[in-house]
Amino acid sequence: MSQPHSDPSQPTRSRPWMPGYGIEADLDGLLDWSWAESRLSSQHNYWICSTGTDGAPHASPVWGVWVSSALFFSTGVTSRKYRNLTADGRCVVAVDRGEESLTIEGSAEVVGSSGDAEWADLVGRPYLAKYDTDMVAMNAPVFRVTPVKVIAQIDRDGEFTRTATRWTWPPH
């Protein structure tokens, strides 16, 4: 069961498929996309989960900024996450906010360098404001993670089964 899709720029909300967890069937209690974006914007560390060419899983925290419905971060070209994501961009991004969890399933792609003027305006300024660190000076590859699916829930005071929410986007 999901809500009708009225605005193509906004994701469709529904219940995640979680058999055996008692997730409520009705739509009462679904979280708003603004709730998720607020957490994505204010998150300090984002856990990037990728897979190596040998199939080995890898998770690594990064600093990043949520801009224009995507996560942007940079990493060095010798890092394992760089090698993994340039070989296969599919990834999961997890944020940990105690009893409010959120994961993004999506695709990461290199969209430029933090030293490029285009990225300095879009990503560098919010990064500087958030971390007091000049991303532009790093002159490292900038990744954009575009979500395909986001799942979140509040896990306190019995809210889990009522707040479990999945957001999906139409294929690009």
Per domain, the residue ranges of the chain are: 12-168
Q: Flag whether pLDDT at 63 surpasses 90.
A: yes
Q: Has residue 108 got a pLDDT over 60?
A: yes
Beta-carbon contacts of residue 168 (< 8 Å; ≥ 6 apart): 11, 12, 14, 148, 149
Contact status, residue 89 vs residue 108, Cβ threshold 8 Å: yes
Whose tokens are 């829930």? That residue is 153
Which pair of structure tokens corresponds to residue 4? 């009708």
Query: How far, in Å, CA of 36 to CA of 34, rounded?
Result: 5
| Confidence at residue 172, expressed as pLDDT on a 0 to 100 scale | 59
Which is more confidently placed, 172 or 59?
59
In CATH terms, is domain 12-168 a member of 2.30.110.10? yes
Q: Is the pLDDT of residue 121 over 70?
A: yes
Mean pLDDT over 93-97 rounds to 88
Mean per-residue pLDDT for 127-146?
89
Tens-place pLDDT, residues 155-168 = 888 888 889 999 99
- d(Cα 14, Cα 24) in Å, to the nearest integer? 11
- pLDDT for 5 beyond 50: no
Helix (H, G, I), strand (E, B) or coil at 42: helix
7 pLDDT more than 70: no
Distance from C-alpha of 40 to C-alpha of 94, rounded to nearest angstrom: 10
